[in-house]
């Protein structure tokens, strides 16, 4: 997939170089363009988590905080990045990225809120595009540096870190990337936002203290860093850190991360520290992922949580017990996995349009959804949309010749396709062509 990373990097770099010839600060339209390209890059490399069991609790925190932002500049959107480093960052247009590693590192939902509040500060205070001189260095160094670092660190953490420091270290005004003053002002913004939202503001100090113990010192003088030393931020906050207070939302989120994403060996170690019923939930979700449906079902039947009932329905469906699965899935299915199980039951009943409606929101995000939609559209006599879905499926599974066939078939009816779908198909087609020309 590196060829696709390179392509999107060139798109972003080209746009940023275009800005350098302009004599004005970054416009909101410029911000939207940069954000869209950045997100497309992460999506193309399967680096954004879409499981609602993981995304929604974090997005709900964001919405709670956003309700108390005075005169918000953006509609804030949080994305979970499939990266194990303890990090979060902001890009133009109000997009906040929280790494999976940071969620695993946090010890309650208030700490996650503290990080999101801090990143909202960067956005609301417009630290990225606030003026032309700053914007050029931040776009080039921070966005592309973090972009490269995020993509590479999932494969080689040392390479990712080196890429970030390389892009940041080549400019005389290194402090402009995310200046130390920006960090302090974002901390203050975040703490005020937590208080206004009724969230424990001591969570920020608590998180930073543990982060400092975790990361230690880099040995680099503070005046050469874009962020102030963590202990200096802690001293500035000057607040009793208190103790973590994990509740149902935190433990459910932790169980879902362990059961749906983490390797089974690591999930086992993490679940050992969880209270019931969350330990059993994590183990059951891990069992469904491994195909151990009977074992998962025995665990899920004892858990009175909506997510447990959804995966109980999934396990029943996998065991062929669709009459029992249907009511559970109809009421509780929220994810691509569980909605696909519901769609398959509806397909068996001949309810093709209803099945399409159930999984349509997840198209382009999950390969099984795309394949299932292709079949459903065929059965519903919607051939162009079937080609679109199969084109996505084969492209994402790297069956490029099959993908090209379906994409070209869909493009024959381009006048009846929405503009965003048409653009997506053309992009995939160009990537397949580029790959063939490069011999990859």
Q: 40-78: per-residue pLDDT in tens?
A: 878 877 889 999 999 999 999 999 999 999 988 889 999
For residues 329 and 358, state if they share a domain.
Answer: no
Question: SS3 helix, strand, coil % of the chain, rounded to 5?
Answer: 70, 5, 25
pLDDT of res. 35? 83
Q: Which two tokens stand for residue 105?
A: 């590192």
Q: Between 150 and 118, name the one with better pLDDT.
A: 118
Out of 284, 301, 334, pick the residue that ends a domain: 334
Asked if residue 40 belongs to a domain, the reply is yes
- Cβ–Cβ contacts within 10 Å for residue 245, how many? 13
pLDDT of res. 30? 79
For residues 87 and 171, state if they share a domain.
Answer: yes
For residues 98 and 27, state if they share a domain.
Answer: yes
Q: What is the pTM of this model?
A: 0.80
Per-residue pLDDT, averaged over 310-327, amounts to: 98
pLDDT of res. 358? 97
For residues 227 and 340, state if they share a domain.
Answer: no
For residues 320 and 340, state if they share a domain.
Answer: no
Asked if residue 300 belongs to a domain, the reply is yes
Out of 310, 334, 358, pick the residue that ends a domain: 334
CA distances in angstroms from 223 to 48, 116, 181, 237, 347, listed in the order given? 33, 26, 12, 20, 62
Q: Which two tokens stand for residue 174?
A: 């290194």
- What is the total count of domains within the chain? 3
Q: 368-378 burial by CB neighbour count: b if 16+ within 10 A, else e?
A: bbbbbbbbbbb
Interval 85-113: pLDDT, tens: 888 888 888 899 999 999 999 999 999 99
For residues 370 and 421, state if they share a domain.
Answer: yes
pLDDT beyond 50 at 39: yes
For residues 367 and 429, state if they share a domain.
Answer: yes
pLDDT of res. 129? 58
For residues 70 and 142, state if they share a domain.
Answer: yes
For residues 101 and 148, state if they share a domain.
Answer: yes
β-sheet with 88-91: strand ranges across: 48-49, 77-81, 95-99, 88-91
pLDDT beyond 50 at 225: no
d(CA 141, CA 145): 5
Residue pair 30/92 in contact (Cβ under 8 Å)? The answer is yes
pLDDT beyond 90 at 236: no
- Domain containing 175 equals 2-237
pLDDT of res. 193? 92
């Amino acid at each position: 997939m590196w060829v696709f990373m390179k392509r999107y990097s060139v798109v972003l770099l080209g746009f940023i170089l275009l800005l350098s010839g302009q004599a004005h600060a970054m416009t909101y339209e410029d911000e939207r363009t940069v954000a869209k390209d950045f997100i497309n890059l992460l999506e193309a490399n399967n680096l954004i988590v879409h499981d609602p069991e993981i995304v929604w609790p974090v997005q709900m925190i964001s919405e709670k905080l956003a309700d108390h932002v005075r005169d918000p500049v953006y509609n804030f959107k949080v994305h979970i990045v499939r990266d194990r480093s303890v990090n979060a960052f902001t890009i133009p247009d109000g997009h906040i990225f929280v790494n999976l590693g940071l969620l695993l590192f946090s010890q309650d939902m208030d700490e996650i809120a503290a990080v999101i509040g801090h990143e909202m500060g960067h956005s609301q205070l417009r630290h990225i595009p606030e003026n032309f001189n700053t914007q050029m260095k931040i776009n080039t160094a921070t966005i592309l540096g973090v972009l490269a670092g995020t993509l590479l660190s999932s494969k080689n953490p040392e390479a990712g870190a080196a890429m970030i420091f390389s892009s940041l270290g080549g400019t005389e005004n290194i402090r402009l990337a995310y200046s130390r003053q920006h960090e302090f002002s974002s901390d203050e913004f975040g703490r005020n936002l937590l208080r206004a939202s009724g969230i424990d503001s001591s969570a920020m100090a608590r998180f930073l203290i543990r982060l400092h113990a975790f990361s230690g010192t880099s040995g680099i003088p503070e005046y050469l860093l874009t962020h102030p030393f963590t202990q200096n931020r802690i001293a500035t906050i000057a607040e009793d850190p208190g103790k973590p207070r994990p509740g149902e939302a935190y433990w459910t989120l932790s169980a879902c991360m362990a059961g749906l994403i983490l390797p089974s060996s690591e999930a086992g170690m993490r679940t050992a520290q969880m209270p019931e019923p969350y330990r059993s939930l994590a183990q059951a979700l891990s069992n469904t992922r491994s195909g151990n449906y009977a074992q998962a079902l025995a665990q899920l039947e004892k858990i009175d949580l909506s997510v447990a009932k959804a995966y109980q329905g999934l396990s029943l469906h996998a065991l062929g017990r669709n009459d029992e699965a249907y009511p559970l899935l109809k009421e509780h299915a929220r994810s691509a996995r569980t909605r696909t199980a519901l769609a398959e039951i509806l397909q068996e009943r001949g309810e093709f349009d209803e099945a399409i409606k159930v999984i349509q929101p997840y198209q382009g995000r999950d390969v099984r959804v795309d394949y299932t939609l292709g079949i459903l559209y065929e059965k519903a006599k919607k051939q162009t949309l079937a080609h679109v879905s199969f084109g996505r499926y084969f492209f994402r599974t790297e069956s490029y010749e099959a993908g090209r066939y379906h994409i070209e078939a869909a493009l024959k009816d381009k006048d009846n396709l929405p503009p965003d779908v048409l653009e997506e198909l053309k992009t995939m087609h160009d990537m397949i062509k580029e790959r063939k020309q490069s011999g990859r």
